[in-house]
Amino acid sequence: MISSIAGTTFFLAKINYSLGRVDEAKKQAEMAYEIFSKLGSHHLPETDELLEAINQAPNDPSAYLAKHGKKHLLDLSVG
């Protein structure tokens, strides 16, 4: 259950990042990271990567998307 909440929070962070809601995206990514780290989840690197992208290019998710070969952030799923 908690893992699902973290996954949903991570997905919302990606959506908000793509919509330019950087502050909200960062809060959600940090929350997901905290939960995943407590669970010892394999999603930790993905979440860390999203946080890094938000910090490096807050208003431009294109580099993050290009790294994953996607055109839109919603194409990226957890897992």
What does the mean pLDDT of the chain come to?
85
Angle between the N-to-C axes of helices 2-18 and 22-39, in degrees from 0 to 180, rounded to the nearest 10 = 150
- 77 lies in a domain? no
Considering the domain boundaries, does residue 78 fall inside one? no
**pLDDT for the residue 18:** 83
Instruction: In whole angstroms, give the CA distance from residue 21 to residue 41.
Output: 26
pLDDT at 8: 93
Query: Considering the entire predicted model, what is its pTM?
Result: 0.80
Domain region containing 43: 2-72
Contact (Cβ atoms closer than 8 angstroms) between residue 76 and residue 70: yes
pLDDT at 73: 58
Residue 40: CB partners within 8 Å, gap ≥ 6?
Answer: none
Q: Which residues of the chain have pLDDT under 50?
A: 79
What is the number of structural domains in the chain? 1
Cα 48 to Cα 74: distance, rounded to the nearest angstrom: 18
Q: Is residue 37 part of a domain?
A: yes
